[in-house]
């Protein structure tokens, strides 16, 4: 085979190499259908240390991400030449579930020490990375979802994984925005405003009646937030997220969340029913919401 390949013209050599590669993969397809990746009974601890950092995703996630397209291709041909696509999808769905469920279990168990070691968790320390748990799970799920997405027979599992990635990304963004706003008191102010908007206070009592939402408290918190956002490294870059699109999307969404929080506080000060108008309202703030969006680079 090697002698034939070397003696053949270049286009024919490419076809022979491609055929040889495909022939090597075809026998693996039935095995992938029968033997799914299983998580180890005791995944290795992933606690951060000074000498080493936790792996961005377990090796089993990488292996499943690489083998999922082959299994998807096998599933696409499992229904036979005359089978309809929906019938093949229904027949192949348990196979993908058998591959993905152990991976999701592995990812959750492997990420558990990172959640326990977060600053807000029991035993968490000042040096712990509060994003490690979400980043680890995102790396696992996004890797497999990206490999499944191009295959029609894996449409539903890929969509389910995409929804889980979206949920984790939302939690990561919300946590990052809250940590930026917390030191200046903006997180508490915005949370209280949102609470009162969903749960009305005592009848006849304006929002400004809450001592934690006095004009001075809101203005000081928002000024502190603008000062914090003016720093060059104000926004997190999430360098441990492996997918470039996830990294840029996460940073952009943190910026939008911060801009929306400032805009909410600004609008509340301008609300005639909130009790701030007679003391100057939003005029006490030096920056408009649009100026804050410009600082953050939010279009």
Domain annotation covers residue 267: yes
56 with 141, same domain?
yes
Q: What is the reported pLDDT for 78?
A: 43
Q: How far apart are the first and last CA of the chain?
A: 58
Domain interval for residue 200: 182-296
Residue 215 tokens read as 């004009």
Please indicate, yes or no, if residue 103 is contained in any of the structural domains.
yes
Q: Is residue 272 part of a domain?
A: yes
Identify the band that residue 289 occupies on the pLDDT scale cut at 50, 70 and 90.
Answer: very high
Alpha carbon of 244 to those of 57, 112, 239: distances in Å? 15, 25, 9
State whether 141 and 198 are in the same domain.
no
Task: Decide if 193 is inside a domain.
Answer: yes
Are residues 227 and 124 part of one domain?
no
How many residues belong to the chain? Answer: 299
Spatial contact of 192 and 212, defined as CB atoms under 8 Å apart: yes
Residue 20: inside a domain: no
Give 15-58 pLDDT, tens digit per residue. 444 444 444 433 444 444 444 444 444 444 443 333 344 445 55
- Of residues 150 and 188, which shows the higher confidence score? 188
Backbone angles phi, psi at 135, to 5 degrees: -65, -45
- Do 200 and 125 belong to one domain? no
Assess whether pLDDT exceeds 80 at residue 169: yes
Rounded CA-CA distance 65/58 in Å is 11
Nearest to 169 by CA among 104, 250, 251: 250
What average pLDDT does range 259-263 have in this prediction? 97
Across 48-57, 258-267, 279-288, least confident range: 48-57
Does residue 61 sit in the same domain as residue 146? yes
Mean pLDDT of the chain: 75
The pLDDT, as a whole number, for residue 127 is 54
pLDDT band for 86, please (50, 70, 90 cuts).
low
216 and 279 share one domain: yes
CB-based contact 13:5 (threshold 8 Å): yes
Provide the pLDDT for residue 119. Answer: 63
Asked if pLDDT for residue 222 goes beyond 50, the answer is yes
Confidence of residue 228 (pLDDT cuts 50, 70, 90): very high
Q: Which residues contact 137 (CB under 8 A, 6 or more apart)?
A: 107, 108, 111, 168
Q: How does DSSP assign 164-197, residue by residue?
A: HHHHHHHHHHHHHHHHHHTTTTHHHHHHHHHHHH
- 270 assigned to some structural domain: yes
User: Residues 176-180: what's their mean pLDDT?
Assistant: 96
Question: What distances in angstroms separate CA 264 from CA 178, 193, 271, one per listed residue?
Answer: 15, 8, 10
Residue 2, domain member (yes or no): no
Is the pLDDT at 168 greater than 70, yes or no? yes
Inform me whether the pLDDT recorded for 8 exceeds 50. Answer: no
216-233 average pLDDT score: 95
Tens of pLDDT, residues 129-148:
889 889 999 998 888 888 88
pLDDT at 191: 95
Question: Are the CB atoms for 29 and 73 separated by under 8 Å?
Answer: yes
Per-residue pLDDT at 72: 53
Per residue in 96-134, pLDDT (tens digit) is: 777 777 878 888 888 888 876 666 544 344 457 889 889
Non-local (6+) Cβ contacts of 6 within 8 A are 13
Total number of domains constituting the chain:
2
Q: What share of the chain is helix, strand, coil (3-state, %, to 5)?
A: 70, 0, 30
Average pLDDT on 232-252 reads 94
pLDDT at 173 exceeding the cut of 90: yes
Is the pLDDT confidence value at 212 over 90? yes
Same domain, 59 and 131: yes
> How many CB atoms are located within 10 Å of the residue 46 CB?
20
Rounded to whole angstroms, how far apart are CA atoms 187 and 216? 15
């Amino acid at each position: 085979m090697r002698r034939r390949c070397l003696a053949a013209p270049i286009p024919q050599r490419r076809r022979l190499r491609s055929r040889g590669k495909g022939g090597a993969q075809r026998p693996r397809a039935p095995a992938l259908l029968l033997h799914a990746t299983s998580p180890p009974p005791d995944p290795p601890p992933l606690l951060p240390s000074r000498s080493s950092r936790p792996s961005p995703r377990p090796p089993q996630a990488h292996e499943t991400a690489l083998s999922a397209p082959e299994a998807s291709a096998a599933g696409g041909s499992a229904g036979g030449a005359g089978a309809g696509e929906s019938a093949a999808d229904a027949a192949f769905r348990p196979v993908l579930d058998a591959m993905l469920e152990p991976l999701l279990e592995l990812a959750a168990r492997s990420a558990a020490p990172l959640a326990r070691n977060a600053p807000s968790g029991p035993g968490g320390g000042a040096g712990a990375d509060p994003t490690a748990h979400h980043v680890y799970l995102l790396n696992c799920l996004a890797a497999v979802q990206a490999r499944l997405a191009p295959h029609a027979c894996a449409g539903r599992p890929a969509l389910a994984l995409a929804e889980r990635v979206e949920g984790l990304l939302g939690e990561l963004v919300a946590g990052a925005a809250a940590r930026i706003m917390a030191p200046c008191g903006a997180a508490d102010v915005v949370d209280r405003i949102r609470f009162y908007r969903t749960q009305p206070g005592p009848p006849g009592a304006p929002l400004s009646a809450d001592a934690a939402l006095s004009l001075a408290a809101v203005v000081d918190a928002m000024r502190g937030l603008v000062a914090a956002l003016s720093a060059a490294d104000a926004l997190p870059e999430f360098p441990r997220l492996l997918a470039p699109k996830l990294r840029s999307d996460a940073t952009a969404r943190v910026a939008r969340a911060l801009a929306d929080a400032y805009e909410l506080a600004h609008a509340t000060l301008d609300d005639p029913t909130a009790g701030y108008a007679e003391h100057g309202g939003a005029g006490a703030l030096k920056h408009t919401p649009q100026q804050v969006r410009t600082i953050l680079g939010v279009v």
